Amino acid sequence: MTSVLVKDLTLQFGALTVLDNLNIDIPEGEFLVLLGASGCGKSTLLNCIAGLLDVTDGEIHINDRNVTWEEPSGRGIGMVFQSYALYPQMTVEGNLSFGLKNARMPKAEIKQRVARAAEILQIEPLLHRKPAALSGGQRQRVAIGRALVRDVDVFLFDEPLSNLDAKLRADLRVEIKRLHHSLKNTMIYVTHDQVEAMTLADRIAIMKSGLIQQLDTPTEIYNRPINKYVAGFIGSPEINFFKGEIEGTEFVTEGHRFSLQGYEFEKPTTSGSAWLGVRPEHIMTGPAAKGLAVTTQAEVEIVEPMGSDTLAWAKLGGMSVRIRMDGQAAVKTGDQITIGFDPARASLFDTDTELRL
Amino acid sequence: MAEALTPRGPKPRRRFSRTNIMLYGTLIVFALYYALPLYVMIVTSLKGMPEIRMGNIFSPPVEVTFQPWVKAWAEACTGINCEGLSRGFGNSVKILIPSLILSIAIASVNGYALANWRFKGSEVFFTILIIGAFIPYQVMLYPLVIILRELGLYGSVWGLVLVHTVFGMPILTLLFRNYFTSVPEELFKAARVDGAGFWGIYFRIMLPMSLPIFVVAMILQVTGIWNDFLFGVIYTKPAHYPMTVQLNNIVNSVQGVKEYNVNMAATLLTGLVPLIIYFASGKLFVRGIAAGAVKG
């Protein structure tokens, strides 16, 4: 069953088109992440779904009901904001019950729902505190609780973890995932952090200048990015791009000939200029590189040891290549190393359209 | 040359450096400049007339008397009635309270609407309102007399209340709009998702957060309305004259001897209300800001 349906959504501020004829169909219980750089329209899209922005054109359906003209409170959504947006003058309990009081719910039921939400989020000892007396993580939990008590069908998260420090962010990320597993609600989550997107999402929608570039599972997006932008956006460290020509079953770049044996073309291609994208973690070194379809020699330029793994920059002709190596790899600047990759894991993009070949 | 010290801990500072002497010297001169007239007024108001005639305006009173204060408050004459300033005080309070409540209530809702509920033409509306603040009062004096006459409010306290409310609107609306604009937008969005409407958000989210700006608005309005002379004299009848107008009448009515001590006492009495507001709400003001600084 469709939970959220966005149909031909367009939003313009004056002459500026922020969202352009967008269509998304989100099945019930799905965790959809809207991912993109700042200014790509992802938060705007979320605000449109929430009803906080009037759309220029198009429809929004939630649970098979056209809610395009509904007030935010009448759409069956709960929203969690980046700045938490807790009401500073109310206690945690007041914050949680505000929406229910507005809906004129009986006192006994409000109490019961607040208690349940507090239990799920483990914020019971905090109920009588003011937001100012809470830590960042606790505040965000209360903010999630405010959506939880309203017993809504769809949860909207607007960069909820961006204001937290790295460790807390990782903890709360897991908690949100756990929450999704137990509640099984539809969740739409906006972020610019690809780790959050990859770990949380059932599907990711990558957005750029008001358009969805690719809407697919994290695995598909990582392995088979639909265009050069998506390939460059997903993955850290960033994917290596080589500009060159396809010649039969080979890719020629600056004098190097890479075999394309095993690469699955979208449609058979044997010529034309293209970008070859190879992820740093797919480049093997040393003995592991030996058996691969593409092997070559490179000189190590810079080594960045990070403990869990080591990032090396190697010179391949005039090009610089990022290679992700084992954390214990003993390499130093100036070393000659053997590198290689499997073309089946690489990506080819047309230089003109930047689409996947 | 003193023995060389190892630099450690706070750097020693000279208390009587040239900059400090310049700085404090200037400050003291200016403080005296502003405090002296007040001192002369207080001292004079506590002297009897014979002492004043001796001419030492800076000397403290030899014989302290509160008679001038009593006279200024209850006995001084303006024309035929000799009730002192007390009647003017009553009138001023009757003018101040409704003007204060009305103007702040309307302006805060205005500011809230302009900051959070942008409607078509809201910017134009706001611009027109602000331009209103720059039009000289003199231009509007006579038209307002006619408007009040047509409304049947001319000469009454309510007419003056209306005038004060209208003239306070541009600056107060600007004040409230700017304050509400600084409230995080997400708070407003969260309240909308929680099902609060225009008034729900105003009364239950915005108002409790806005004590400081209400105190600022109150200080502005109380001093402005209390010190107003022009509107008071134009739009009311002698029976409703505010304290300032009455003060003027007392000080300027020449009948025999000019009683400087009574005049000084009357002036101080008239200035007392804004003064008290400053002292009393100063604390509230600071506390309000401190409470508002703790963002949720």
Kindly tell me if the per-residue pLDDT of B182 is higher than 90: no
Strand ranges for A217-308 from DSSP E: 240-247, 250-253, 256-259, 271-278, 284-285, 294-305
pLDDT over 70 percentage in chain B: 93
Fold observed for domain B86-293: MetI-like fold (1.10.3720)
CATH number of the domain at A194, please.
Answer: 3.40.50.300
Residues A218 and A338 in one domain: no
B195·A139 Cβ contact <8 A: no
**Residue at A356 is within a domain:** no
Residue that the structure tokens 């002297």 belong to: B47
A129-153 pLDDT tens trace: 999 999 988 999 999 999 999 889 9
Residues A222 and A278 in one domain: no
- Of B192, B196, B295, Cβ closest to residue A52: B192
Domain boundaries, chain B: 18-64, 86-293
| Average pLDDT of the residues in A66-88 | 92
Q: Which residue of B has its CA nearest to A136?
A: B296
**Residue at A115 is within a domain:** yes
Kindly tell me if the per-residue pLDDT of B293 is higher than 80: no
Chain A residues touching chain B at CB-CB below 8 Å: 47, 50-52, 71-74, 77-79, 81-89, 98-99, 102-103, 130-132, 139, 146, 150, 158
Best mutation target among B116, B192, B193, B289 (most A Cβ atoms within 10 Å) is B193
Tell me, what's the pLDDT at B145? Answer: 92
- Of B191, B193, B204, Cβ closest to residue A77: B193
Q: B296 to chain A: which residues are within 8 Å by CB?
A: 84-88, 130-132, 139
**Residue at A244 is within a domain:** yes
Tell me, what's the pLDDT at B296? Answer: 35
Range(s) of the domain holding residue A274: 233-350
From residue A151, alpha-carbon distances to A113, A130, A189, B189, B269 in Å are 9, 23, 18, 18, 62
Total structural domains within chain A = 2
Residues A120 and A263 in one domain: no
Is residue B295 very low, low, confident or very high in pLDDT (cuts 50, 70, 90)?
A: very low
Q: Which of A99, A125, A133 shows the shortest CA–CA distance to A113? A: A99
For residue A202, count other CB atoms closer than 10 A to its CB: 16
For residue B127, count other CB atoms closer than 10 A to its CB: 10
Residues A118 and A155 in one domain: yes
Q: Which of A1, A2, A20 shows the shortest CA–CA distance to A10? A: A20
pLDDT over 70 percentage in chain A: 100
A71·B195 Cβ contact <8 A: yes
A39 Cβ contact list (under 8 Å, min separation 6): none
For residue B232, count other CB atoms closer than 10 A to its CB: 25
Which contiguous run of DSSP H or E holds residue A216? strand A211-216
Kindly tell me if the per-residue pLDDT of B86 is higher than 80: yes
Tell me, what's the pLDDT at B2? Answer: 55
Check if the interface score ipTM surpasses 0.90: no
B194·A73 Cβ contact <8 A: yes
The residue from A208, A232, A256 where one domain ends is A232
Amino acid at the residue B93: V
Best mutation target among B117, B183, B189, B194 (most A Cβ atoms within 10 Å) is B194
A72·B193 Cβ contact <8 A: yes
DSSP assignment of A86-124 equals: --TTS-HHHHHHHHHHHTT--HHHHHHHHHHHHHHHT-G
Residues pairing with A339 in the sheet: A285, A296
| Average pLDDT of the residues in A181-196 | 93
User: To the nearest whole angstrom, how far is the Cα of B278 from the nearest Cα of chain A?
Assistant: 26
Q: A52 to chain B: which residues are within 8 Å by CB?
A: 189, 192-193
**Residue at A202 is within a domain:** yes
The structure tokens listed for B102 are 């009305």
- Of B186, B195, B200, Cβ closest to residue A83: B186
Residues A297 and A202 in one domain: no
Q: Contact A101/A110 with Cβ under 8 angstroms?
A: yes
Residues A35 and A182 in one domain: yes
Residues A250 and A184 in one domain: no
The structure tokens listed for B235 are 């739009």
From residue B100, alpha-carbon distances to B171, B234, B270, B288 in Å are 14, 20, 18, 19
The angle, 0 to 180 degrees and rounded to 10, between the axes of the packed helices B86-116 and B260-293 is 30
**Residue at A355 is within a domain:** no
Tell me, what's the pLDDT at A271? Answer: 86
Residues A244 and A225 in one domain: no
User: To the nearest whole angstrom, how far is the Cα of A182 from the nearest Cα of chain B?
Assistant: 23
Residues A185 and A203 in one domain: yes
Residue that the structure tokens 């003060």 belong to: B247
Residue that the structure tokens 């009401």 belong to: A87
| Average pLDDT of the residues in B59-72 | 88
The angle, 0 to 180 degrees and rounded to 10, between the axes of the packed helices B122-134 and B86-116 is 150
Residue B217 CA to residue B281 CA, distance in Å, equals 11
Tell me, what's the pLDDT at B53? Answer: 86
Residue B295 CA to residue A139 CA, distance in Å, equals 12
Residue A164 CA to residue A324 CA, distance in Å, equals 28
CATH number of the domain at A268, please.
Answer: 2.40.50.140
The structure tokens listed for A320 are 């610089």
Residues A70 and A86 in one domain: yes
Q: Does A94 or B62 have the greater pLDDT score?
A: A94
Tell me, what's the pLDDT at B252? Answer: 83
B43 Cβ contact list (under 8 Å, min separation 6): B57, B58, B59, B60, B61
The structure tokens listed for A105 are 């719910």
pLDDT over 90 percentage in chain B: 42
User: To the nearest whole angstrom, how far is the Cα of B161 from the nearest Cα of chain A?
Assistant: 33
DSSP assignment of A21-57 equals: EEEEEEETT-EEEEE-STTSSHHHHHHHHHTSS--SE
**Residue at A190 is within a domain:** yes
At A163, phi and psi to the nearest 5?
-90, 5
Q: A153 to chain B: which residues are within 8 Å by CB?
A: none
Residues A247 and A225 in one domain: no
Residue that the structure tokens 């001796």 belong to: B54
User: To the nearest whole angstrom, how far is the Cα of A73 from the nearest Cα of chain B?
Assistant: 5
User: To the nearest whole angstrom, how far is the Cα of B188 from the nearest Cα of chain A?
Assistant: 8
Residues A136 and A254 in one domain: no
